Amino acid sequence: MPLLEVREVSTFYGRICALDHVSLDVNEGEIVCLIGANGAGKTTLLNTISGVAPARHGEVLLNGAAITRTPAEKIVGQGISHVPERRQVFGSLTVMENLTLGAYSRFRRDGRASINNDIENVYLLFPVLKTRHKQLAGTLSGGEQQMLAVGRGLMARPKLMLLDEPSLGLAPLIVQEIFRILADLRRQGTTILLVEQNARAALRCADRGYVLENGRVVLSGAAAELSESELLQRAYLGKRNHRNRSG
């Protein structure tokens, strides 16, 4: 059974149909990427899974159980951590306070010691955050804020992480760093559904991918196959690797 199943989901904003019968699944331990142009519905799909923009039709299942109409705050407790677009950290709180808040859904269950231990683990993954643990998050650089947003998502000990454009607006070296960390997370057993405009980098680190256009899945498959597909090469990867190029 897949960890996450999205079955024929349609999501609307008023009368606007943003997702049209979308189906997708994510198996435990996989990195699956979602590729698509601006406005294709990628963020909406993550918001539908995390309960922020619930589906009007269709079902979302986590470990076989429907969460389609579960409120967002309960979905976190069930093991889905959503790191939204544009690194929304709490700017007036410190790095450490942001990380602690990421664990709020497990405070009562796990207690302070276990949470402190997980903060140390986040610092191992992102050493730069440790050197800045008392700094206000709003004064971190863009890349540092992105790392903090991912770190905060990890603090909930999710079964599944939804990451919305973690590389957006970052310098190439930091982007590389983010993708290196995603690979580390996968090795540690975290399952990830990743939205990326940087299709090339996403397909390099993902196992499988789905391509969204106008709210519909138009293509899906193994990452290696998708990198070779005509449609992707034309629309999202540029023509650099085009095999049938003349001259």
* Per-residue tokens: 166: 């973690």
Nearer Cβ to ligand ATP (18/226): 18
The reply to whether 82 sits near ligand ATP by the rule CB under 6 A is no
38 binds, among ligand ATP, Mg ion, none (CB under 5 to 8 A by kind): ligand ATP
The reply to whether 36 sits near ligand ATP by the rule CB under 6 A is yes
Candidates 9, 35, 40, 202: give the one binding ligand ATP (CB under 6 A). 40
Residue with structure tokens 């003349």? Answer: 246
The reply to whether 43 sits near ligand ATP by the rule CB under 6 A is yes
Candidates 3, 6, 33, 42: give the one binding ligand ATP (CB under 6 A). 42
Rounded Cα distance between 220 and 82, Å, is: 22
| φ and ψ at residue 55, rounded to 5 degrees | -70, 145
Q: Amino acid identity, residue 88?
A: Q
Rounded Cα distance between 131 and 76, Å, is: 28
The reply to whether 47 sits near Mg ion by the rule CB under 5 A is no
The reply to whether 167 sits near ligand ATP by the rule CB under 6 A is no
Nearest distance from residue 197's CB to ligand ATP, in Å? 6
H or E element, residue 12: strand 4-13
Question: Strand, helix or coil at 6?
Answer: strand
* Per-residue tokens: 195: 């939205």
Question: Strand, helix or coil at 73?
Answer: helix
What is the size of the binding site for ligand ATP (CB under 6 A)? Answer: 12
151 binds, among Mg ion, ligand ATP, none (CB under 5 to 8 A by kind): none
Rounded Cα distance between 176 and 86, Å, is: 18
Rounded Cα distance between 102 and 80, Å, is: 12
The reply to whether 15 sits near ligand ATP by the rule CB under 6 A is no
Nearest distance from residue 11's CB to ligand ATP, in Å? 9
Rounded Cα distance between 91 and 119, Å, is: 18
The reply to whether 38 sits near ligand ATP by the rule CB under 6 A is yes
Cβ atoms < 10 Å from Cβ of 42:
24
The reply to whether 39 sits near ligand ATP by the rule CB under 6 A is yes
Nearest distance from residue 88's CB to ligand ATP, in Å? 14
Interaction site with ligand ATP (CB under 6 A): 13, 16, 18, 36, 38-44, 197
Per CB under 5 A, residues contacting Mg ion are 42-43
